[in-house]
C-alpha cells in the first residue's frame, strides 16, 4: 500500500538546470503517492512540469522560511525536503524511507547520506561529532536540511522549521526538538542524495549568521545553565578558529552580539531527560 508524500524544494530561481534535475528525480520516485512542491523564494517559479505545484514569496524569506511555505500548502503524512541543487539517484528512496517509518513509530526524522557527484561524502555531511564514517548509520542530533524526511506530525509538534533563522542551524533545532518530543532522528547511509561540493563560505554573511543563530538556538532550546555553557564553548571555539583572521572574528562577534540582543522567538527549553539522552549518545548539548 502506498502512502501520501509531499516533497518540498526551495529555489531562488538561479539554478534552473539543477532544479529541473531535482524535480525529475522526485517525480521518478516509485512506490509512493508523491506531490512535488517548488517554493519560489523571491521569484515565481516557471518552466516546471504541470504536475508540480508551486508557491512563492515576493521576497527571499530564507531556506527554513521557504520550507515552511511549502509545508503550508500540503497535508501529506510524510514530507521530504530536497535542495534545488541536489537530486535522488535511486527511484526507490522515498519508498525505503516510508518502510523505515512504518516499521518504527518512534522514528521521527531520517537524514539520507549526501555525496558529491564524484561519490565522496564530506565529513561535515555526516551528522556525528567524531566518527565520520559515512557508511555507518546512527542516531543523529542534527540534520543537513538538503535531504531529509520527516513525519508531518513530528513537524507540527516541533514547530516546523525555525523560519527566523533564515539560513544555518535550523537542522540542529529540528533534531533537538524531535528528540524532545519523544521521537528519534536517524542517519541512514543506505539512502542517498547527490549534492555538489560546496562550502558555507559561499554565503557572504555565513559567519554572522552562524554566530547569531548559535545564540538563538541556545536561547530557544536549552535549559539556562546548559545554554550558558554551550555559548561559552561556541565562542571560545569560533573565535579561536578565527584568531588569525581579524575580519572573520569581528563578523562572528557581531553576529554573537546580535543573537544576544535581538528577538530569538519562542523559547521552548528541552527537558533534562532530553539533555541526558543526548549525552548518553555522545552528543551533550554543550559542544
Q: Taking the alpha carbons of 83, 87, 93, 94 in that order, is the dihedral positive or negative? A: positive
Q: Considering the chain, what is the average pLDDT of its residues?
A: 94
Compute CA distances 261 → 197, 222, 257, whole Å. Answer: 34, 17, 6
Q: What is the pTM of this model?
A: 0.95
pLDDT class for 69, splitting at 50, 70, 90? very high
Distance CA 88, CA 58 (A): 28
Confidence of residue 242 (pLDDT cuts 50, 70, 90): confident
- Determine the pLDDT at residue 143: 96
3-state secondary structure at position 34:
strand
Residue 200: predicted pLDDT? 61
Q: Which residue has the cell 522549521?
A: 161
Average pLDDT on 58-75 reads 97
Residue 234 pLDDT exceeds 80: yes
In this structure, the chain runs to a length of 287
Q: Is the pLDDT of residue 217 over 90?
A: yes
pLDDT, tens digit, for every residue of 144-160? 999 999 999 999 999 99
DSSP conformation class of 48? -
- Domains annotated for the chain, with CATH where assigned, are 4-198 (3.90.550.10), 202-269 (no CATH)
Residue 134: all three cell numbers together: 559515512
The secondary structure of the chain in percent helix, strand, coil, rounded to multiples of 5, reads: 40, 20, 40
- Structure confidence at residue 21 (pLDDT): 98
Q: How confident is the model at residue 52 (pLDDT cuts 50, 70, 90)?
A: very high
Measured N-to-C along each axis, helices 170-180 and 272-280 cross at an angle, to the nearest 10 degrees, of 110
Amino acid at each position: 500500500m502506498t502512502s501520501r508524500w509531499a516533497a518540498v524544494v526551495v529555489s531562488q530561481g538561479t539554478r534552473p538546470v539543477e532544479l529541473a534535475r531535482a524535480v525529475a528525480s522526485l517525480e521518478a520516485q516509485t512506490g509512493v503517492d508523491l506531490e512535488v512542491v517548488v517554493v519560489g523564494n523571491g521569484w515565481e517559479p516557471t518552466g516546471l512540469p504541470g504536475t508540480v505545484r508551486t508557491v512563492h514569496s515576493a521576497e527571499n524569506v530564507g531556506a527554513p522560511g521557504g520550507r515552511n511555505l511549502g509545508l503550508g500548502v500540503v497535508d501529506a503524512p510524510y514530507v521530504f525536503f530536497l535542495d534545488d541543487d541536489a537530486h535522488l539517484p535511486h527511484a526507490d528512496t522515498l519508498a525505503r524511507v516510508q518502510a523505515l517509518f512504518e516499521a518504527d513509530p518512534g522514528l521521527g526524522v531520517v537524514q539520507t547520506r549526501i555525496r558529491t557527484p564524484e561519490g565522496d561524502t564530506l565529513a561535515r555531511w555526516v551528522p556525528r561529532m567524531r566518527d565520520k564514517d559515512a557508511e555507518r548509520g546512527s542516531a543523529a542530533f542534527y540534520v543537513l536540511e538538503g535531504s531529509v524526511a520527516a513525519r508531518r506530525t513530528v513537524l507540527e509538534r516541533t514547530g516546523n522549521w525555525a523560519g527566523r533563522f533564515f539560513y544555518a542551524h535550523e537542522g540542529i533545532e529540528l533534531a533537538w526538538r524531535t528528540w524532545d518530543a519523544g521521537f528519534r532522528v536517524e542517519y541512514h547511509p543506505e539512502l542517498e542524495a547527490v549534492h555538489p561540493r560546496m562550502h558555507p563560505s559561499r554565503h557572504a554573511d555565513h559567519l554572522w549568521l552562524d554566530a547569531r543563530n548559535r545564540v538563538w538556538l541556545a536561547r530557544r532550546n536549552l535549559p539556562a545553565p546548559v545554554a550558558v555553557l554551550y555559548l561559552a564553548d561556541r565562542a571560545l571555539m569560533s573565535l579561536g578558529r578565527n584568531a588569525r583572521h581579524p575580519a572573520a572574528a569581528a563578523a562572528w562577534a557581531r553576529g554573537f552580539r546580535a543573537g544576544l540582543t535581538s528577538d530569538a522567538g519562542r523559547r521552548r527549553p528541552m527537558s533534562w531527560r532530553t539533555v541526558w539522552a543526548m549525552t548518553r549518545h555522545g552528543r551533550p548539548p554543550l559542544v
